[in-house]
Structure 1
Amino acid sequence: MCFREMTAKTVPLLLFQQSPSFAMATSSPPSTPDTSSEEWPLAPTTTSGGARNGDDLCAIYVHAGAGYHSPQNQRAHLEACNDAAKVAMALLKSGASAVDAVEMAVRLMEDREITNAGFGSNLTIDGKVECDATIVDYLGRSGAVGACPNVKNPISAARAVLEYQKERLSLRRTPPNLLVGIGAAEFAYDRGVSLVKDDYLISQPARARWLRWKHKLDLLRQKEQEDSGHFGDVESSEDDEDVRARVESLRMDAAESTPPKSATTAEASSSGKATSESTQLAECSCLKADARLDPLSKGPSSRLNVTPSSGLAVLNNPGERQINETGNEPVDDITDTVGAIAVDSRGHIAAGSSSGGIGLKSRGRIGPAALVNIGTAVIPADPGDPDQVSVATVTSGTGEHIITTSAAAICANRIYRIGESATNEPVMEEEILKRVIERDFMEHPGVKSSHCEASIGVLAVKRTSDGIYFWFCHNSDSFAVAAMNSRDTKPVCVMSRRSRHGSTAQGGRAFIYPQ
Structure 2
Amino acid sequence: MQKTLLLLFTAVLSHLAPATAQTAPATSPAGPFTLVIHGGAGTITKANMTAEQEKAYQDGLNKALQVGHAILKDGGTALDAVEAAIRVLEDNPLFNAGKGAVFTHEGRNEMDASIMEGEQLRAGAVAGVTVVRNPITAARAVMEKSEHVLLTGPGAEQFAREQGLDIVEPSYFFTQARYDQLQKALSTEKSAGPSNQPNTPIKAAPVPAAPTKAKGKTKAGKPSSALVPAGSQDLADLIFTEGRKYGTVGAVALDKQGNLAAATSTGGMTNKRYGRIGDAPIIGAGTYADNQSCAVSCTGWGEYFIRATVARDVAARMEYQKIPLSQAAQAVIDKVGAMGGNGGLIGLDRAGNITMPFNSEGMYRGFIKEDGRSQVLIYK
Return the TM-score normalized by structure 1. 0.58
2:377 paired with 1:396: no
Cα distance in structure 2, aligned partners of 1:121 and 1:58: 30
Q: Which has the higher helix share?
A: 2
The amino acid across from 1:404 in the alignment is R
Pick aligned residue for 1:87 from 67, 77, 87: 67
The amino acid across from 1:157 in the alignment is A
Give a deviation string over 1:20-72, Cα, whole Å, max 9, x none: xxxxxxxxxxxxxxxxxxxxxxxxxxxxxxxxxx8894211101111122432
Cα distance in structure 1, aligned partners of 2:332 and 2:204: 44
Could you tell me whether the CA contact under 8 Å between 1:102 and 1:352 is conserved in 2? Answer: yes
Return the TM-score normalized by structure 2. 0.77
Q: By how many angstroms is 1:223 displaced?
A: 8.7
Cα distance in structure 1, aligned partners of 2:130 and 2:102: 12
Alignment CA distance shift 1:176-1:418 (3 Å): same
User: Which residue of 2 is the match for residue 441 of structure 1?
Assistant: 336
User: Which residue of 2 is the match for residue 336 of structure 1?
Assistant: 247
SS at the partner of 2:99? coil
2:338 paired with 1:429: no
Could you tell me whether the CA contact under 8 Å between 2:109 and 2:170 is conserved in 1? Answer: yes
Alignment CA distance shift 1:223-1:102 (3 Å): closer
2:41 paired with 1:61: no
Alignment CA distance shift 1:273-1:135 (3 Å): farther
Alignment CA distance shift 1:330-1:212 (3 Å): closer
Pick aligned residue for 2:122 from 122, 125, 141: 141
Could you tell me whether the CA contact under 8 Å between 1:62 and 1:339 is conserved in 2? Answer: yes
Pick aligned residue for 1:272 from 233, 238, 242: 233
Pick aligned residue for 1:184 from 125, 144, 156: 156
Give a deviation string over 1:209-242, Cα, whole Å, max 9, x none: 11222233334446989xx9xxx9954258xxxx
SS at the partner of 1:119? helix
Could you tell me whether the CA contact under 8 Å between 2:93 and 2:235 is conserved in 1? Answer: no
Cα distance in structure 2, aligned partners of 1:398 and 1:235: 23
> What is the RMSD of the two structures over their aligned residues, measured on CA atoms?
3.0
User: Which residue of 2 is the match for residue 100 of structure 1?
Assistant: 80
Give a deviation string over 1:170-198, Cα, whole Å, max 9, x none: xxxxx111001111111111111121111
Q: How does 1:447-466 map to 2 (within 5 A)?
A: 447=339, 453-463=340-350
User: Which residue of 2 is the match for residue 156 of structure 1?
Assistant: 137
Alignment CA distance shift 1:363-1:486 (3 Å): same
Q: By how many angstroms is 1:346 displaced?
A: 1.1
Give a deviation string over 1:326-361, Cα, whole Å, max 9, x none: xxx982532232100011111111100001111111
Cα distance in structure 2, aligned partners of 1:93 and 1:462: 18
Cα distance in structure 2, aligned partners of 1:64 and 1:380: 24
Q: How does 1:165-184 map to 2 (within 5 A)?
A: 165=146, 175-184=147-156
SS at the partner of 2:233? coil
User: Which residue of 2 is the match for residue 110 of structure 1?
Assistant: 90
The amino acid across from 2:336 in the alignment is F
Could you tell me whether the CA contact under 8 Å between 2:93 and 2:232 is conserved in 1? Answer: no
Structure 2: 5+ residue runs without aligned partners? Answer: 1-28, 211-228
Cα distance in structure 2, aligned partners of 1:234 and 1:430: 46
Cα distance in structure 1, aligned partners of 2:356 and 2:265: 18
SS at the partner of 1:186? helix
Cα distance in structure 2, aligned partners of 1:374 and 1:410: 8
User: Which residue of 2 is the match for residue 361 of structure 1?
Assistant: 272
Cα distance in structure 2, aligned partners of 1:330 and 1:117: 14
Pick aligned residue for 1:198 from 152, 158, 170: 170
SS at the partner of 1:368? coil
Alignment CA distance shift 1:181-1:58 (3 Å): same
2:188 paired with 1:207: no
The amino acid across from 2:233 in the alignment is G
Could you tell me whether the CA contact under 8 Å between 2:325 and 2:347 is conserved in 1? Answer: no
The amino acid across from 1:484 in the alignment is I
User: Which residue of 1 is the match for residue 223 of structure 2?
Assistant: none
The amino acid across from 2:116 in the alignment is V
Q: How does 1:293-304 map to 2 (within 5 A)?
A: none
Structure 1: 5+ residue runs without aligned partners? Answer: 1-53, 166-174, 251-267, 276-328, 382-389, 420-426, 448-452, 498-515
Cα distance in structure 2, aligned partners of 1:218 and 1:157: 36
Alignment CA distance shift 1:349-1:67 (3 Å): same
Pick aligned residue for 2:309 from 401, 406, 413: 406
Cα distance in structure 1, aligned partners of 2:142 and 2:232: 33
Tell which has more relative contact order, 1 or 2 (C-alpha 8 A, sep 6+).
1
Cα distance in structure 1, aligned partners of 2:260 and 2:96: 25
Cα distance in structure 2, aligned partners of 1:336 and 1:207: 15
Alignment CA distance shift 1:442-1:211 (3 Å): closer
Could you tell me whether the CA contact under 8 Å between 2:61 and 2:366 is conserved in 1? Answer: yes
Give the share of equivalent positions with the same residue, in percent.
29
Cα distance in structure 1, aligned partners of 2:151 and 2:165: 14
Cα distance in structure 1, aligned partners of 2:196 and 2:167: 40
2:203 paired with 1:236: yes
Pick aligned residue for 1:476 from 330, 337, 360: 360
Cα distance in structure 1, aligned partners of 2:70 and 2:261: 16
Alignment CA distance shift 1:220-1:137 (3 Å): same
Q: By how many angstroms is 1:417 displaced?
A: 4.0
The amino acid across from 1:144 in the alignment is A
Give a deviation string over 1:358-413, Cα, whole Å, max 9, x none: 111114211111100000011234xxxxxxxx411111110001111111110111
Pick aligned residue for 1:491 from 371, 374, 377: 374
SS at the partner of 1:370? coil
Cα distance in structure 2, aligned partners of 1:271 and 1:189: 25
The amino acid across from 1:204 in the alignment is Q
